[in-house]
Structure 1
Amino acid sequence: MKQFFTYTLTLALALALVSPEASAQQFSKRKQYNSVGVSLNAMNYFGDIVPKASIPSLRFAATRPNIGVNLTHRFTPRISARVALAYGRITGDDSKAADKNDADARFRYHRNMNFRNDLVEASAVGVFDLIANRNNYIKRPDFVPYVFAGVAVFHHNPKGLVGPNTSNLEQGTYVNLQPLQTEGISYSLTQVSIPFGGGVRYKLNRSFDIGLEIGWRKTFTDYLDDVSQVYIEDSKLTSPAAKYFGRGITRTDDGTFINFNSPGEMRGKGNEKDWYIVTGVNLNYILAPRVKSPKFR
């Protein structure tokens, strides 16, 4: 996944730099235009609470919706800039993702962690069309594949669902995990990510395009799921909720739940940052540019 990210981002930047249309001066102002769009997407995540201990592993049943709006400006026959605002959710649950009969997954099954996380993302990306449009928006190509890369800022807030336990917590409620410092670490709920990916765009008519797009988000945090490092001592967990989520409750074969983790034992992989992925359909409406009539004297 790291190599895929590097190659995709490098390709997108290289194409933009070497393209002969890289200067907006070569593209008439009368041919530049804006478009606004909406997107309906599916959202997944790669992290610690997944079927396999690797970034490409995800649980499709954990897919959740994502919606967004965007504004795009075309600068040259191939290059556009897009800003977007999106909201979506990611989830994970060891009891559903990990197979207790799989030796590699048994640890995650007994860890018995779960989370959901609502993300609000603002992004700015450069879009490089693989088929150029040297005309105005009316004569744009019918079918255009493209790649994109940029930067995003997102706000998140992981929460855990309280299950059967012996504490005073109310079962079936969601608890904010970041304030609990379940691993003795305070992390920010506002983070930066690197969005990149590709898609295809199809011309419906004079004013509308419809497209299919997939985009990965490389983050710089390992706490989208509130799991990263090791279990810490009970004395450092300051509330019943912190002890419930920070120590972990495991299920036995007879269905009872017990604590089994010791301080210093592995809780998460710790050596990989979390990712999330957005896949979906977008509909864009082209804002017809104003054409100024020549003045005669």
Structure 2
Amino acid sequence: MKNIFTYSTAFALGLALVATPEAEAQQFSKRKQYNSVGFSLNAVNYFGDVTPVTNFTSFRLGATRVGAGVSITRRFYPRLSGRFGLSYGRISGDDNLAADQNDPDARYRYNRNMSFRNDMVEASAVAIFDLIENRNNYLKRPDFVPYVFAGVAGFYHNPKGKVGDKAPEGLRPGTYVSLAELKTEGQASAYGKTQFAIPFGGGIRYRINRNFDASLEIGWRKTFTDYLDDVGGKYAPAGSFTTAAQAYFGGGNPDASSRLTPRGGNFADGGGLTRDRTTEFRGFDTPGEIRGDSRNRTDWYIVTGVSLNYILTPRIKNPKFR
């Protein structure tokens, strides 16, 4: 279902964004084009392995974090604009709060007890297609305009785990440790902190006055990594860990080394062993067992924002007389 939604939506948006007829472009003269600069205040969420349900539609409102962004937009045609933006936001997840210990499908993740936070910086370029056209200049633009958008983005991310009170020697409780370099699942090399995404979504724009617009927008980011939360595969093979930090944030692996105790993970409730290593949870974190989503689905993040845009008054060149 997720794949159908993803690719069909992207295809439909792509068709819409390139469907501006040539005649329409010719009728919209360059004198009617204009630029605007904007500032946005955003709410950021993520979908991944540390959410209430490990699918595309799942997120926890309590994990919402605040972000901000700046942008510059160029209106090219009556319906079509291009926008370049820079933004910052934080995502987070917490098994202790997201997973229900009484839900048969979530008890494993509740017992896994992972948590993380990830500060992200994004640069994006998108095409915006207005559902209501404006063939005139910016002064005669409509009051309300719904729109859709799609494009490409690159982002830098750095998932971190918090050191709990029961951490082994060498880790200071209360501090955050970058997880990519630890290779917590025994990877041959650390996953990249710089990644690409496909942003798409929609919004509505409202004209405040001559030069100001306000808009409300929601946009999904389809990424190509499963490690926004540092959880994506299996528990590390025996002997993979050589440091206390690797064993602590790796979330298990009792065969790694007897000196690397306590053997737990990036624990939401302050560190220590997982909640239950008996009954049905016995051995769940042994080397080679599933640590994240068994279907290896990539992570997503979503940005919901309110923005204020200022239209830069176009310079109109007077025609020359001969």
What TM-score range do you get, normalising by the shorter chain? over 0.9
**Does structure 1 residue 265 correspond to structure 2 residue 266?**
no
2: distance between equivalents of 1:266 and 1:132? 51
Structure 1 unaligned residues grouped into runs of 5+:
none
Letter in 2 for 1:198: G
Residue in structure 2 matched with residue 102 of structure 1 by the alignment: 103
Q: How far off its partner does 1:109 sit?
A: 0.8
2:186 and 2:237 in contact (8 A); partners too: no
1: distance between equivalents of 2:22 and 2:305? 29
Residue in structure 1 matched with residue 309 of structure 2 by the alignment: 284
2: distance between equivalents of 1:288 and 1:26? 21
> Kindly tell me: are residues 21 and 285 of structure 1, through their superposed partners in 2, closer, same or farther at Cα, counting changes over 3 Å?
farther
Residue in structure 2 matched with residue 218 of structure 1 by the alignment: 222
Measured on the aligned residues, the alpha-carbon RMSD in Å equals 1.8
> Kindly tell me: are residues 22 and 250 of structure 1, through their superposed partners in 2, closer, same or farther at Cα, counting changes over 3 Å?
farther
> Kindly tell me: are residues 153 and 10 of structure 1, through their superposed partners in 2, closer, same or farther at Cα, counting changes over 3 Å?
same
> Kindly tell me: are residues 243 and 23 of structure 1, through their superposed partners in 2, closer, same or farther at Cα, counting changes over 3 Å?
farther
2: distance between equivalents of 1:90 and 1:56? 16
2:24 and 2:78 in contact (8 A); partners too: no
1:123 and 1:152 in contact (8 A); partners too: yes
1: distance between equivalents of 2:77 and 2:242? 57
**Does structure 1 residue 191 correspond to structure 2 residue 195?**
yes
Kindly report which structure 2 residues correspond to 1:196-275, keeping only aligned pairs within 5 A, or say none: 196-246=200-250, 247=252, 248=265, 249-252=273-276, 261-270=285-294, 271-275=296-300
2: distance between equivalents of 1:113 and 1:269? 13
Q: How far off its partner does 1:12 sit?
A: 1.7
Other structure's SS at 1:149 match = strand
Letter in 2 for 1:47: G
Q: How far off its partner does 1:252 sit?
A: 4.2
> Kindly tell me: are residues 21 and 128 of structure 1, through their superposed partners in 2, closer, same or farther at Cα, counting changes over 3 Å?
farther
1: distance between equivalents of 2:6 and 2:152? 13
Kindly report which structure 2 residues correspond to 1:88-99, keeping only aligned pairs within 5 A, or say none: 88-99=89-100
Q: How far off its partner does 1:287 sit?
A: 0.5
State the number of aligned residues: 293
> Kindly tell me: are residues 21 and 143 of structure 1, through their superposed partners in 2, closer, same or farther at Cα, counting changes over 3 Å?
farther
Letter in 1 for 2:64: T
1: distance between equivalents of 2:135 and 2:54? 47
Letter in 1 for 2:111: H
Residue in structure 1 matched with residue 136 of structure 2 by the alignment: 135
Q: How far off its partner does 1:269 sit?
A: 0.7
